[in-house]
């Protein structure tokens, strides 16, 4: 049985918006739990965008900032192995 909805199956994001006085660090921890609980085939960028639409009216809430940060793509470092990698350093 699903506690939340398709975009928030465990209702972690929804519940974070209901916690009065929640801090950004707590929101980031909840966000990580939420992200790890999603199925592998879910497009997280699209899902985060939908959550931002749903909760966007709560401008001062730290989870809103956390969701926006979740949209930022990180660049993975390119590993240069072998002799070529050592010669660049």
Tell me if 79 is assigned to some domain.
no
Helices of type H across 1-89: 12-18, 24-37, 44-55, 62-70, 82-88
pTM over 0.95: no
Q: What is the pLDDT of residue 6?
A: 87
Tell me if 51 is assigned to some domain.
yes
Are 52 and 67 contacting, i.e. CB atoms less than 8 angstroms apart? yes
Total domains in the chain come to: 1
Taking residue 31's Cβ as centre, other Cβ atoms within 10 Å add up to: 19
Tell me if 27 is assigned to some domain.
yes
Is the pLDDT at 89 greater than 60, yes or no? no
Tell me if 1 is assigned to some domain.
no
Supply the range of the domain harboring residue 17: 12-73
Interval 18-76: pLDDT, tens: 999 999 999 999 999 999 999 889 999 999 999 999 999 998 999 999 999 999 976 66
């Amino acid at each position: 049985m699903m506690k939340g909805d398709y975009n928030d199956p465990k209702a972690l994001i929804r519940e974070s918006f209901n916690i009065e006085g929640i801090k950004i660090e707590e929101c980031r921890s909840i966000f990580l739990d939420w992200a790890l609980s999603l199925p592998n085939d879910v497009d997280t960028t699209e899902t985060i965008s939908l959550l931002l639409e749903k909760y966007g009216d709560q401008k001062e809430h730290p989870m809103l900032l956390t969701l926006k940060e979740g949209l930022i793509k990180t660049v993975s470092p390119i590993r240069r192995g072998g002799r070529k990698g050592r010669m660049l350093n």
